[in-house]
Amino acid sequence: MTTQTAGDQQNLSEYNRSRTLQYLYHHGIASRAQIAQALHLTPAALSKISNHLLSSGAIIETGPLEGKGNRRSIGLAVNTGQYRVLGVKFARSLIQIGLFDLAGSAQAVWVDQATDYPTPAEAIDAVKQHIRAIMRQFTNIVAIGMAVPGPYLRSVGHTAVVSSMRQWREVNFKAEFEHAFDIPVIIEQDARAGALAQYLFDPQPRNENLAYYLLGEGIGLGVIDHGSVINGALGTATEIGHVSVDVHGIPCDCGNVGCLERYCSAVAIHDLLNEDRTIVPDSPALTHHEACIALFELAGRGDTRAQEIVRRIGTYVGYGCVTICNAFNPSRIVIGDIVAEAGEPLLDRVREVVRERVLPELVESTAIELSTLPTDAAVTGAAAVAIMYILDHPSRFFTPQTVHNATTNHNNQER
C-alpha cells in the first residue's frame, strides 16, 4: 500500500493548476464544465482549482456563456494583461529586449548591436543595466526568457560554438543571468524558443508535432514532438546547422566541413555578397540582415543573378527540410527569421527539393510554410520561454499577494 504524502498532494494540485491554465491559454474562454470534461477532473476538483487561480489573479471570469439545454455558465480565461515578461534574444551581432504581456503581444522592443561593444563582457553588462532600467519602469514584470545561439549546453550554460564570433563561447549565460535579478530567468536555445513561440502564439490551430526552422545569422531547429520539446542529453538536440550537406565542403568553426549554416545562413549570404560586390555594391557597409534584404529586394525586382542566388539558398534550405522530415517526421515545418524574408520564391524551391528527395507519404503529410509571426519574432521566442515556464509553474507566480502587488503597481503607473 502506498501512502500519499502532503508533498505528493501539493505536486498533484500544482500539476492540475498548470493543466487548467494551459487549457485556457490554448483554447481561450471556457466554462468550468468544459475544462473539467476536457481534463478528466471532477466538478469539485475543478471548482477548487479555478477558485485558487481566480483568487491569485491567474484567471478571470468573463461573463455568462450559453451551455447545453440553454443552461448558462460563467466563462473563464487567462488574465493575460495583469503581468508582463521580458524576452531577450542574443544573436551573433544583435541583441533584442522585448516587453510582452502574457498573450505574447509586444509592448515595446529595444534593439542593440552586440558588435558595438569591444568585448562580450561589456555587452552583457549593458544588457543587465538595460533590463534593470526596464524593470524599474514596469514593476509587474514576473519573468525573463532568454534565447541564445545553439548548440547551447544547458547544464553548463555555454554555447558550444558560435560561428564567426568565437569570443561568445566564453560567455556562461547561466552564471551571468540566472541569479542576476529578483525574478526567474529561463534560458533556451534560440530555435527551440522559436518553436515555443509558434506553439503558443501562432493564430493557426495548435500543432503538437511542429518543427521551427530558424534561418538567421546561424541555422537552428526546434522540434515539438507530441507536445513536448526535444532537448537531448545536453540540451543540444536538433542542432541542424552543423549537419553536413557536403562532405568535401566549406570548413566550419565546429570542426566539421560542409555544415548547412555555411551555405544558407545570413552570415553565409553576406559573405557571398562581399566576395562579389557587383550584386550589392555597398554590401560591406551593411549588417547581415540589411545585406540579405538588399539581395531579396533585387530578386523581387527581377534581377536574374539575385534570383539565382535565392534559388541556390532555397536548395540548401531544402536539404535541411529533407533531414527534418526524415529525422523527426513533424506534421508542420515553419521557416522563420532573416532568410525567410526571401518569401515565396525561397519557399517554392524548398518544397521542390523536398518533393524530389523525400518519400511521397512524408511529403503529403508535412506542411512547409513561412512563419506568420510578426517581424520581431526573434525576441518573441524568448518571451515564449518565460510564458511557458509561468504556465508550467503557476504557484510560483500567482498568489493573492502577487495579484495585490501587481494591481497596486498598475494603478500607480496609470497615475
pLDDT at 409: 45
- Indicate whether 411 pLDDT > 60: no
For a pLDDT cut of 90, what percent of the chain falls above it?
69
Q: Residue 155: its pLDDT value, please?
A: 78
| Residue 401 or residue 225, greater confidence | 225
Mean pLDDT, range 302-309, rounded to an integer: 97
- pLDDT > 60? residue 183: yes
Over residues 114-142, the pLDDT tens digits come to 767 888 888 899 999 999 999 999 999 99
Domain 9-81+404-413 has CATH 3.40.50.720: no
pLDDT in tens, 17-50: 999 999 999 999 999 999 999 999 999 999 999 9
- Is the model's pLDDT at 109 over the cut of 70? yes
pLDDT at 113: 75
Domains 9-81+404-413 and 207-370 share a fold: no
pLDDT for the residue 29: 94
Q: What mean pLDDT do residues 335-351 have?
A: 96
pTM of the model: 0.86
| pLDDT value, residue 166 | 63
Residue 92's pLDDT is 72
* pLDDT level of residue 350 (50, 70, 90 thresholds): very high
- What integer is the mean pLDDT of 359-387? 89
| Per-residue pLDDT at 67 | 64
Given this model, what pLDDT does residue 403 score? Answer: 47
- At the second CATH level, the architecture of 84-196+376-392 is 2-Layer Sandwich (3.30)
Q: pLDDT > 70: what percent of the chain?
A: 89
* Mean pLDDT value of segment 206-234: 91
Q: How would you write the chain as a 3-class SS string?
A: CCCCCHHHHHHHHHHHHHHHHHHHHHHCCEEHHHHHHHHCCCHHHHHHHHHHHHHCCCEEEEEEEECHHHCEEEEEEECCCCCEEEEEEECCCEEEEEEEECCCCEEEEEEEEHHHCCCHHHHHHHHHHHHHHHHHHCCCEEEEEEEECCCEECCCCEECCCCCCHHHHHCEHHHHHCCCCCCCEEEEEHHHHHHHHHHHHCCCCCCCCEEEEEECCCEEEEEEECCEECCCCCCCCCCHHHCECCCCCCECCCCCECECHHHHCHHHHHHHHHHCCCCCCCHHHCCHHHHHHHHHHHHHCCCHHHHHHHHHHHHHHHHHHHHHHHHHCCCEEEEECHHHHHCHHHHHHHHHHHHHHCCHHHHHHCEEEECCCCCCHHHHHHHHHHHHHHHHCHHHCCCHHHHHHHHHHHHHHHC
Mean pLDDT of 223-252: 92
Which class in CATH covers the domain with range 207-370? alpha beta
Indicate the average pLDDT of the chain: 88
Domains of the chain, by residue range, sit at 9-81+404-413, 84-196+376-392, 207-370
pLDDT band at 401 (very low <50, low <70, confident <90, very high): low
Task: Tell whether the model's pLDDT for residue 348 goes beyond 60.
Answer: yes
At 299, the pLDDT band (50, 70, 90 cuts) reads very high
pLDDT at 223: 96
